[in-house]
Amino acid sequence: MRILSGIQPSGALHLGNFFGMMRPAIELQEQGEAFYFIANYHSMTSLFDAGERRRNSLDVALDFLACGLDPKKSIFWKQSDVPEVTELTWLLSTVTPMGLLERCTSFKDKLAKGISPNHGLFAYPVLMAADILIFDSNVVPVGRDQKQHLEVARDIAIKFNEAYGQTFVIPEPRIREETAVVPGLDGEKMSKSYGNTIEIFGEEKAIRKKNYEHRDGQPHAPGTQT
């Protein structure tokens, strides 16, 4: 069994990352071939500072190792170190119907949150499909919010196989229902994009301040009373 998962270096790692991806990945490295990567290309849809992305990528690697990732049991790399992934993304995009991407709720949710749309954000599922399919992944641990993207990857793989012959393994999702969606300080999914995270290795004072500012699931300015 080959297991694959990735994590974005778009900011400091938080509890949503830990319970949704990191802890399951660490446990699964004992059960099969574990392939884990730092998704620095994916982070480009929301983080536009190249220097910050490089620093974050190093921090993600160090934090993942500190949480228990074993390089003797896992293959761990940075997405941009495998240029064939972006080449495959183009090949897959030629068999991906527009309607398939237009139905993705994650894109709509980010627009509703006021995040500026770009093609990378819209085509994110195709790059994710390439990440998964290029390594013949059997199992992909995901949160509930990413299940639809994995279903898109499966659909793309099937369409490609129908057009060009049996090429790709059809991956299966693995969702831990107890941590399928980790809520943030505002009650929504915990996400760096939404500014509602609790950092894994954050300073206690800063975490307490952030929690105070978002008490009752709503943001509050420091010093205000409710």
Q: Which residues are catalytic?
A: 110, 189, 192
Q: Which of 128, 7, 112, 110 is nearest to 60 (CA)?
A: 7
Query: Do 36 and 6 meet the contact criterion of CB atoms below 8 Å apart?
Result: yes
User: Rounded to 5 degrees, what are φ and ψ at 4?
Assistant: -135, 140
Handedness of CA 174, 191, 197, 215 (dihedral sign): negative
Structure tokens at 42: 């994916």
C-alpha 53/C-alpha 74 separation (Å) is 23
C-alpha 213/C-alpha 108 separation (Å) is 27
Q: In whole angstroms, how far apart are CA 144 and each of 8, 153, 217?
A: 17, 15, 21
C-alpha 156/C-alpha 150 separation (Å) is 10
Query: Do 188 and 196 meet the contact criterion of CB atoms below 8 Å apart?
Result: yes
Which amino acid would we find at residue 1? M
